Structure 1
Amino acid sequence: MNFSKLKASSQQIEPISDLTLDIYAISPDWDNYADFTNIDVNVNEHLPYFSLDVYAIEGETLTYKGRLFKDTENMGPGYYGYAFWMGEVWLNSEHIQLEEGHYAIIPQVGLGEEDLLLDKLIDVIIDLTPPVSELSEPSVTAVDDVGTIHGRVISDLMIDALGNYSGITVSVSPSNSSNTYYYGTFAENGEFSVEVPLKYGLNRFYVTVHDAAFNGRQPIYTVDYVREKEPTEPAIAAVASKIEAAIGETFDIAIDFARVNDLYAAQFSLTYDSALLKGSTGPSVALGNHQQQANAGAALITREKIVELGNGRVRTDYIVSLVGDITGYSGAGTFATLHFSSMTAGTFRFDLSQVQALNSSAEVIEYESVKNTVVTVLNGQGEQKHTISGKVSAEALSSSVDYSNVWYDGTDDVHKVVVEAIDSNGTVAAIACSMGC
């Protein structure tokens, strides 16, 4: 072939183009789901003969089944459509309905063998039967709050026609949400898996297995899975630095909180034996660091009040809060750390109460549980011995001083002075009471 002929051949207009279906799989069972398809074709030149013929695809063989459409009146250029085709053809002057199967629609632009345009054929599948499937045993496996539903699609015409599982859909809907769907993925052997979220308690799911023609569009399996609620650590806990201490040995009670989002302020009350010697209260390190990162230069607000209950018990009320228009702290940490020692042996209980926390919108943060603690003080001296001595003096510089605003702990004329010894690591090493104890 010379160049001029090749050029002319390449510019030759194809008789037809853009032969398409709006859906490739139909199920003509009058259920209003994929009952028909619409066929469109673009005719590019005047055609004295044009037809759309239907052939069954059986492996490598095409078997003629009938004619869908024919025009012998010099069909002109333009777009043409055949609407609502439900699988009917004309064969030997009879109008027949095709059975289930895999078919090809092939255009023909003349009566010669070469006029059958095999390169323009389009596939269509007529399928009236739902997929055959089964669930695995067990049907659900779980890791934490994610479950996976397992099963297998055994057979369907779509699989035979397409050679894969692209024409099959597995969807799962939870019983408490009719508009939520989770979709499965397939392995090469037809096994499917669908990931679903799991809440504590009963989880019920409806499983649907349908093909591209929407056969099997109603749920066929109901799957139940009960997620047991695991025992959780207390959300807030009084945690002792040591469960046993010697007389005179210091120990700490930290008020710990589990991971939380947007913690802005908190309060608690800690009740304990009046025989214990309480030292200072260390503020929250986690909240303090967050304060400096979010609003440098501003200090945490802390308030502490000690109440003598008169029954051999004492209560410390404590408040801690961030400052400024900032988001709260997210994470775990400690509200405060209280330092104690005892000069008498015994078992001492520390009880938390009136615990409350707020986020940056002043909304209450709910905690699941609160845990108390116990410390036993044993006879015998602690390993470290400290001697604390000194002098405390006070002087009123003006007769106008309002003594009701002068801080001290105790009743009138009784001033309780507690002194702490701090080691090189900043740890309270000893606590002593020098006055009014």
Structure 2
Amino acid sequence: MTSTTAHAAATTLLRFATAGSVDDGKSTLVGRLLHDSKSVPADQLTAVERVSRSRGRGAPDLALLTDGLRAEREQGITIDVAYRYFATGRRRFILADTPGHVQYTRNMVTGASTAELTVVLVDARNGVVEQTRRHAAISALLRVPHVVLAVNKMDLADYAESVFAAIAEEFTTYAEELGVPEVTAIPISALAGDNVVEASAHMDWYAGPTVLEHLETVPVGHGLATRHARFPVQVVIRPQTAEHPDYRGYAGQIAAGSFHVGQEVTVLPSGRTTAVAGIDLLGESVDVARAPQSVSLILADQLDVSRGDLIAAAAFAPPVTQDIEATVCQVADRSLAPGARVLLKHGTRTVKAIVKDIVSRLSLDDLTLHPEPGALVVNDIGQVAIRTAEALPVDGYADCRRTGSFLLIDPADGTTLAVGMAGRAFAEPAAEALERDGEGWDF
């Protein structure tokens, strides 16, 4: 292993997403991060400079580094989720630049579903708007542990501290009502580069970190390694070689917690209990493995285990149920109504299911609930009751994002209809706020 490879392996990985209203400067911020951290290949930068000149712009349009679709370039907006990978000396990053248009809110759900941090941009001239609240609510819904409020275009607001302070206070108050655990507010100008990678000379009243400094130092890990052990089985390995004629390994990625040799585990949904006899990691036997490592588990007993089963710590196994109450975000253009027959994909298992009821729809403007909406349409967020044909081991989403989430799929053509999160929609503070208005998420 070279020193460069060893260094990359030793650094931590942060997955983060950007969100905000149209023209708030998300793509420009991402482009500035890539450019100023020297993470743009020379040929790509040359291409951006050429396109920028053809449009009569004196400086490179850094938004073009992420707006890769032809329709995006033509309209000057972000439509699809653009993923980019870059690294600094302190950390590796996977970022998702998500659309700002209301009709592409579902794309923000996709981009933030695996994120540990969300950067919500606000135009300093416009302040907190409907889409700002919507993106904050989605971050809370998806249990993203860190939120950065980037008040952009401060250069167009004369770098006024009072403008920044008012926006930061309004957003932070709203986020606290949602139960967002942490908000870091940073005044920036993505176009000019103020407080993105380098500290701004125009805002000496701000003493906090730049965007990149915060991204490099924020805690990561989601606490996956400290959660109760969860292992969805992807495939059963039976090599049947002369060296290992009786080898039977269960391969997959550890979703949460850790496994060690000798640990007592339960196979779900059957409920059979056994012990971990061995763990294979990258072709070698190890005593301990942790999330999110991909391994093969060898069990002490020959149980009936197949793809879709869940191996869990015996003392902390999740409940097995056919009735799931959850919050879903409708991502398909077609509606979701009571009685709909769907496929539910949970972990590595897909089962038939029926939507028993659409209990309520959440208004992101004022966090009020509208009971019995009749159906959910694209971008709606609502509480549903689902009955599955087979029992599934389902955690609450607040306890484990991986084993508490699922997809609803159209069995006719395979279209993803909705993404779901089992259990409460928001953290306790938001639930209490809703109950004060006379309605609560009663799961």
The TM-score with structure 1 as length reference comes to: 0.22
The TM-score with structure 2 as length reference comes to: 0.21
Greater Rg, structure 1 or structure 2? 1
More helix by share: 2
